[in-house]
Amino acid sequence: MNKIKLIIIGISLLLLLSGCFQIDRLVRVNKDGSGTIEETVLMSQEFIDQISKMSGSKSEKESDEFAYHNPDNLKKEASEMGEGVKYVSSKAMKKDGRLGYFVTYSFEDVTKIRMDENPADNMMSTSGMGKDKEKMSFGFKKGKTAELTIKFPAKEEPEEKISREKTKVSDEDIKMMKAMYNGMKISVKVEVDGKIVKTNATWKDKNVITLSEMDFDVIMKDEKVFQKLSDSQKMSDKDMKRSMQKFKGFKTDMNREVMVKFK
């Protein structure tokens, strides 16, 4: 199954739980291959209640800003991201009626990191919905000009027969989808400590590479996107990429490997 479809499916499964969420992940890489991983996770109380119910745990009331901040769990996640990844610090957050946390991890060798391509997969695993998947990994070469390689999961299932038949989206469908995706944001970025001199990345801004970014408050302003989301399961990877890249608020890098040279 192709990359964009996996992300859309993962998000759709999470949205069935109700409530909006925001996940931002930033991987900072130094010239010697060390660095940090920063994540901001914010969720509605409704979402937290559903996740807790599915995992068999008890959620706290909305007034408790520590409802979804568990340092012990975050420390466990550090070890699952690869050898040498260490939990540095975290803090509970409460913003715009949503609860969550900000966490920082550190690593000495970026080549030992293994992480989900889609940060939402981590919440799916917590809820019992997710299964083990191949991870995104990194390559690195030291030197006067350092070279970072971001490697997406290599295994790809054979494409199913593509259907060209479109599903008609009704006004009721649009209303429901707007409610489901309201306030949902997700981003994965890589920042290198230096000036990028060469890269094949689709999205680059100074020394930051955007691997994926979806801001549905922006995307949903164009109602044509509802038809594209409805048809996403029937489209080829190439067609999906071409159609979704047209919409503001949606970015994704479709390279199998992203190369970044910096100094």
Question: Phi, psi (5° rounding) for residue 240?
Answer: -65, -45
pLDDT value of residue 92: 95
Helical segments of the chain, H only: 3-15, 45-55, 71-80, 120-127, 171-181, 216-219, 224-231, 237-244
- Give the number of other Cβ atoms within 10 Å of residue 26's Cβ: 16
For residues 168-175, give the mean pLDDT.
75
pLDDT value of residue 16: 45
For residues 138-153, give the mean pLDDT.
96
Is 257 part of any domain? yes
Tokens of 108: 């000495």
Is 136 part of any domain? yes
DSSP string, 170-216: PHHHHHHHHHHHTT-EEEEEEEESS-EEEE--S-EETTEEEEEEEEH
Is 113 part of any domain? yes
- Whether the per-residue pLDDT at 194 is higher than 80: the answer is yes
- Whether the per-residue pLDDT at 25 is higher than 80: the answer is yes
For residues 41-52, one letter each, b for 16 or more C-beta atoms within 10 angstroms of the residue's C-beta and e for the rest, the string is: bbbbbebbbbbb
pLDDT value of residue 53: 63
Is 169 part of any domain? no
Is 189 part of any domain? yes
User: For the chain, what percent of residues have pLDDT higher than 70?
Assistant: 67
For residues 169-181, give the mean pLDDT.
74
How many structural domains compose the chain? 1
Mean of per-residue pLDDT scores for the chain: 79
pLDDT value of residue 63: 47
pLDDT band at 119 (very low <50, low <70, confident <90, very high): confident
**Domain housing 102:** 3-152+183-218+249-262
pLDDT band at 199 (very low <50, low <70, confident <90, very high): very high
For residues 147-160, give the mean pLDDT.
74
pLDDT band at 116 (very low <50, low <70, confident <90, very high): confident
Q: Give residue-wise pLDDT tens across range 58-71.
A: 555 544 566 678 99
Torsion of CA 185, 86, 27, 18, to 10 degrees: -10
Query: What is the value of pTM for the model shown?
Result: 0.80
Is 24 part of any domain? yes
Is 80 part of any domain? yes
Is 242 part of any domain? no
Q: Is the dihedral of CA 50, 86, 31, 110 positive or negative?
A: negative
Higher per-residue pLDDT: 144 or 129: 144
Q: Is the dihedral of CA 12, 215, 243, 1 positive or negative?
A: negative
- Whether the per-residue pLDDT at 9 is higher than 60: the answer is no
pLDDT value of residue 121: 66
